[in-house]
Amino acid sequence: MNLSYFISKRIAGNQQDSFSSTIHKIAVGSIGIGLAVMIVSFLILRGFQNTVTDKIYSFSSHFQVTKYTMSNSYEEAPISTDNELFNNYQKYGFIDHVQEYSNKAGLIKTEEEVLGIIFKGVSKRFDLSRFDDNIVEGRFISFDDDSYSKEVMLSRVIADKLELGVGDKITVHFFQNPPRVRRLDVVGIYETNLSEYYDSKIIIGDLRLIQRLNNWSDSVARGMEVFIKDPSKMDEAEKALDEIVDYDFFVEKISDKYIQVFDWLHLISRQVNIFLGIILFVVCVNMISIILILIMERTQMIGLLKALGANNSQIRSVFAYNGILLIVKGLVLGNVLGIGVCLIQYYFKVIPLNPADYYMSYVPIGWGWEVIVGLNLLTLLVVSLIILIPTAVISRINAIKSIKFD
């Protein structure tokens, strides 16, 4: 048996009700709490990123393909959907789905309120599976086979402002010459909490209504929304789409269109990484202090081992093994605490948030076991290397003086 490991186990097993027992508990607790905080922080960060990006992508896709134009109007420069990307997207392996859309500005008028809105027209190709989580009341619009659907979905923000609900009728005045008015039925309420971009201004209805108002054919729309299979390869997908579409089409990443949101997520990610560095620094300082205290407490043992012929490397290994044992215990405690807190929040949502500020009503948890394993390995590696620093003082301990040390 390895002599250093054997002595380390004997030390760990014979420390009940001793000062070193208290020190060991402090070490395990500091590592455990530090790891737990890191796990909770990174899983919350992952939850924030996944929740916000999923909401944006579910409403606006990963890319929007429109006609080149110098105007910021919601309605100008329609495109024909009779093109290679729309009709044969399946042959491109990186594309998951393509759907058309159109926007038209208008007013919702009730007996007491008037509110400006953007009517987003979608078709039967609309990917409801991605959007379904945003529906909080009622259902999505249904599409008639013979004519355009007169059903519409409102956001929770618009419905509350106008005191409307599922089953109510609304009158929408569309901006054009001459003005047009349509009486529509509210069949559902959606909520993304991204009020600045969607909820405060967009209602969802049938694309054919806009085509009828604008005197467009069935193959004309404002643009195409493109979903890709791997959102982590957005840059490669953008280059590929530029090669597929016509020269007068503009391919825009949604992450560029809503860059403020994605910059905010990046800022949070950077702050969490800084937080990780601070926690690891504190844990390492604690471990250095604890190992030094343990060395001082075992000074006589060190002198005796040296007198019996043990070299510095063997004695340092005793405390290194002891430190690694503390780290492993701390990792177990940290995983129990961190994962436990995340499980409670995930299932019971005990920590609420203000949707107006954070785009969601509770703290989200984004599970990623690779993140948990990575944090465990990082903590184990960094702290294990750090504990070698205080053991260097063992080489300076004089055997005779240390035996007399009291």
CB atoms within 10 A of CB 343: 12
| Residue pLDDT, tens place only, 243-256 | 999 888 999 999 99
Q: How far apart are CA 236 and CA 95, in angstroms?
A: 12
Looking at the predicted structure, is the pLDDT value of residue 176 above 90?
A: no
Assess whether 220 and 280 both reside in one domain. Answer: no
Strand duo 180-190 + 223-228: pairing: unpaired
Same domain, 45 and 79: no
Of 247, 279, 313, the domain-final residue: 247
User: Quick one: 267 and 165 in the same domain?
Assistant: no
What is the model's pLDDT at position 364? 95
Domain match, 319 and 278 both: yes
User: What residue type is 234 in one-letter code?
Assistant: M
Judgement on whether residues 51 and 73 belong to the same structural domain of the protein: no
- Residue range 6-10: average pLDDT? 72
| Averaged pLDDT for residues 133-138 | 95
The pTM score is: 0.85
Same domain, 85 and 220: yes
Give the highest mean pLDDT range of 260-264, 272-276, 332-336: 332-336
Do 11 and 103 have their domain in common? no
Residue 152 resides in a domain: yes
Q: Are residues 51 and 82 located together in one domain of the fold? A: no
Tell me whether strands 95-109 and 180-190 are parallel, antiparallel or unpaired: unpaired
Rounded to whole angstroms, the Cα distance separating 285 from 386 reads 9
Q: Which structural domain, as residue segments, surrounds residue 290?
A: 3-55+261-403
With cut-offs at 50, 70 and 90, classify the pLDDT of residue 401. low
Give per-residue pLDDT as tens, 60-77. Answer: 999 999 998 766 555 567
SS3 102: strand
User: By C-alpha distance, which of 201, 191, 62, 197 is closest to 118?
Assistant: 201
Domain annotation covers residue 252? no
pLDDT of 264-319, one tens digit each? 888 988 988 898 899 999 888 888 888 888 777 777 777 777 777 778 788 788 88
The residue-averaged pLDDT of 343-350 equals 96
Distance between alpha carbon 287 and the CA centroid of its chain, in Å?
32
Residue 254 lies in a domain: no
Binning the chain into helix, strand and coil, the percentages to the nearest 5 are: 55, 20, 25
Statement: residue 372 has pLDDT above 80: yes
Could you say which of 202, 219, 247 is where a domain stops? 247
Residues 91 and 116 in one domain: yes
C-beta of residue 290 within 8 angstroms of C-beta of residue 19: no
In a domain, 278, yes or no: yes
Same-domain check for residues 267 and 382: yes
Q: Please tell me the distance from the alpha carbon of residue 348 to that of residue 341, in angstroms, as a whole number.
A: 10
Residue 63 lies in a domain: no
Q: Within this chain, do residues 212 and 292 fall inside the same structural domain, yes or no? A: no
Joined tokens for residue 114: 């008037």
